[in-house]
Amino acid sequence: MASIADRISHLEEGPRLTPAASLVPEPQIVFADQARRVKPRLLDLERYNGGKSSQYPQFAGILRAKLKIDGPAIGNKREKVWYAFERLTGSAASRVYPWVDTY
C-alpha cells in the first residue's frame, strides 16, 4: 500500500499537465481577394478590334478556350466578363461596353 500512496503523492506533487494554448491551432480566415489563385496555363489572347469580321470566329474560339481552361485563374463570372472585355479594343469594345457596364 505504501507504494501506491507514494505514487499518488508523487503525482500530486509533480507538475500539472494542462493543454497548452499553442497546441490548438487558431483558425485562419482567408478572404477571397487574399486567396492564392491558380496560375493561368494559356497565354493571353490577342486583342480584337472589330476591324476584320473574318478574324472574329478565331478570336471567339480562343476566348472560349481561355475562359474554360484558365477560368479558376481568372476568377468568378464577373471577372471573366471583364477579362473578355479587356481583350477588345476599338469599335468592338465600343459596341460591347454598354452591356458590360450594366453587368
Under the banding of pLDDT at 50, 70 and 90, the label for residue 25 is low
Give the long-range contacts of residues 94-103, CB within 8 A, separation 24 or more.
95/50, 103/78
Question: What pTM was estimated for this model as a whole?
Answer: 0.62
| Number of helical (H) and strand (E) elements in the chain, helices listed first | 5, 0
Instruction: Compute the C-alpha angle 81/84/89, nearest 5°.
Output: 130
Section 25-47 average pLDDT: 76
Sequence spans of domains, the chain: 39-103
pLDDT at 88: 97
Q: What mean pLDDT value characterizes the chain?
A: 84
Query: Pick the residue with more confidence: 41 or 31?
Result: 41
